[in-house]
């Protein structure tokens, strides 16, 4: 209870009892990466996180009467070398 009263009294006096603002900067930078942290000791390695994609797939699914490629379903992600890779799963409905 005494600690709470002391903190309230210090805040009323305009004193920050917990820390100086210079000790804790309020600016944050968001970083997005496919790198697996801690495993590679500084080497950049991507993690396979596949997502479904629909893309034209004339080689796998053929073309319609007008010559337009039919749609295929692919699983796309990044290899450990950070190269984009798409694996064919099947043909979609055209």
From the DSSP assignment, how many helices (H) and strands (E) are in the chain?
2, 3
Total structural domains within the chain: 1
Q: CA 34 to CA 50: how far, in whole Å?
A: 12
- pLDDT category at 27 given cuts 50, 70, 90 is low
Does residue 24 form part of some domain?
no
40, part of any domain: yes
Report the predicted TM-score, pTM, of the whole model to 2 decimal places.
Answer: 0.50
Range of the domain at 50: 33-94
CA distance 91 to 94: 9
Q: Per residue in 29-78, pLDDT tens?
A: 666 666 666 555 556 678 899 999 999 999 999 999 999 999 999 999 99
Residue 22 lies in a domain: no
Establish if 81 belongs to a structural domain: yes
Which pLDDT score, from 0 to 100, does residue 81 have?
A: 87
What does the pLDDT read at residue 80?
Answer: 87
């Amino acid at each position: 209870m005494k600690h709470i009263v002391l903190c309230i009294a210090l805040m009323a006096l305009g004193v920050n009892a917990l820390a100086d603002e210079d000790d804790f900067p309020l600016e944050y930078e968001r970083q997005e990466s496919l790198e697996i942290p801690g495993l590679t000791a500084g080497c950049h390695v991507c993690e396979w996180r596949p997502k479904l994609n629909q893309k034209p797939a004339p080689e796998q699914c053929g073309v319609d009467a007008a010559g337009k490629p039919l749609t295929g379903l692919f699983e796309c992600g990044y290899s450990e070398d950070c190269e984009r890779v798409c694996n064919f799963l099947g043909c979609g409905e055209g």
